[in-house]
Structure 1
Amino acid sequence: MIRRWNPDGPAAPLGRYSHLASVPAGHELLVMSGQVGVMEDGTLAGTDAESQARQVFANIESLLRSAGAGPEHLVKLFTMLSGTEHLAGSRAAQGEVFARWFPEGDWPAHSLIVVAALAAPGLLIEVEAIAAVPRG
């Protein structure tokens, strides 16, 4: 079982994440490329960060399922936003999704940065993910 925790010493997390996550022996690491708010047909899920973030998390969940895994196997997320004005929308979508994925508040490690731009015009959020899936 993946262990996630916040030890004494550093300040409490500022958001929905754990300071540490460890993967026990017998797990295979699954590394996901950055997911953006694009639907299966290649169109943007919306022009706002909240819509795109919901799609990002739907894409991550779909990729996890394709590997025989689920959100409980997530170890680390890395979010990139194309401006601070997208923080509220991305956090709102994350809050909804995390309430479903991690009802006990056992969140994966997570980092977030604001960048000048993402790979294509209109993209507001991109999230990379690492999961650990039990072998066998």
Structure 2
Amino acid sequence: MARAWNPSVIGAPVGKYSHFTEVPAGYRQIHIAGQVGTLPHGGLAGPDVAAQTHQIFSNIKVLLASIGAEPSDLVKLTSFVAGISCLRGYYEARDAVYADWYPEGNFPAHSLAVVLALAKPELSVEIEGIVAIPE
């Protein structure tokens, strides 16, 4: 299992992430492409940021299960949010999911970028990740 920690040589994280995550020997890394808030049939989960973000995390969980992994196996996430106005809905949904996925507060490394736009105008959030699973 990957190890996450925050060294005391710099300030604590300003959000829900760890400064370091380490993939131990005997594990392989799998990269998850940027996921958007689409339902299994391909339609968008909703026009609002929170609905899209919840669906993204649901899609990631399904992808993880398909390779025998769980959210605790995620070592790095990168989130892209289309504009500052989308941050509130993103944080609300992310915090709800993280409360379930990481109740002990052992968060993966994470970066968040506020961008001008995503691949399609109706998309508000995109999240990609790296998972580590035993070989």
Asked if 1:75 corresponds to 2:104, the answer is: no
Q: CA deviation at 1:134?
A: 1.0
Per-residue deviation, residues 24-59 of structure 1 (Å, max 9, x unmatched): 000011100000011111111111111100000001
Q: Structure 1 runs of 4+ off > 3 angstroms? A: none
Aligned length: 135
Per-residue deviation, residues 78-136 of structure 1 (Å, max 9, x unmatched): 0001101111111111111111111100000000001111001200000000000012x
Give the AA of the match of 1:71: P
Where in structure 1 are there 5+ consecutive unaligned residues? none
State the percentage of identical aligned residues: 49
> TM-score, normalized by length of structure 1?
0.97
Give the AA of the match of 2:134: P
Asked if 1:132 corresponds to 2:132, the answer is: yes
> TM-score, normalized by length of structure 2?
0.98
Provide the residue aligned with 2:59 in structure 1.
59
Give the AA of the match of 2:99: A
Kindly report which structure 2 residues correspond to 1:44-123, keeping only aligned pairs within 5 A, or say none.
44-123=44-123
Q: CA deviation at 1:11?
A: 1.2
Where in structure 2 are there 5+ consecutive unaligned residues? none
SS at the partner of 1:30? strand
**Residues of 2 paired with 1:11 and 1:124: CA distance?**
30
**Residues of 2 paired with 1:52 and 1:10: CA distance?**
34
5-14 or 71-80, which deviates more: 5-14
The CA RMSD over aligned residues, in Å, is 0.6
Q: CA deviation at 1:9?
A: 1.8
